[in-house]
Amino acid sequence: MEHNRDAPTPPGQDLHGLRGATLTARFLCELAMLAALAFWGYVVGEGPWAWLLGVGAPVLAAVVWGAFVAPKARFPVPASVRVQIELVLYAFAAVGLAAAGQRVAAVVLGVAGLVTSLLNESQERRAGPENIRRR
């Protein structure tokens, strides 16, 4: 089957321009969230608890993200619920950073997570549900 390069890309699947930048920033925010949760666990925990929290918190967040938020989520939820889950996870990571003494990083992660989540949802809504890569 040949791919026609001149055929227009359906809205929401074009990874150039603002959409590509949003998805890239979103992915980097996800990684930063996991790193922040690991950092929090290692800083606030002592002894074996540092390891348990440092590994367990990001694993739990990754499981929740994969189950409800990821493009191919195991349990797809409506966009409004998905955004709320995202924002709660980013809030936990930002609060964890602040509790670990990294207040500037907490604000940066919180704002970046908020902006990328809302921008992604806005772009998906504009593209329409039939043009979003989901299961």
Q: Where are the domains of the chain?
A: 26-131
CB atoms within 10 A of CB 93: 29
* pLDDT value for 8: 54
Of the candidates 21, 11, 40, which has an alpha carbon nearest to the alpha carbon of residue 131? 11
* pLDDT value for 131: 52
* pLDDT value for 126: 87
Q: One digit per residue, pLDDT tens: the chain, 135 residues?
A: 454 555 555 544 555 688 889 999 999 999 999 999 999 999 999 999 999 999 999 999 999 999 999 989 999 999 999 999 999 999 999 999 999 999 999 999 999 999 999 999 999 888 876 555 554
Side-chain half-sphere exposure of 13, counting CA atoms within 13 A: 10
**What predicted TM-score, i.e. pTM, was given to this entire model?**
0.82
* pLDDT value for 127: 81
* pLDDT value for 17: 81
* pLDDT value for 24: 92
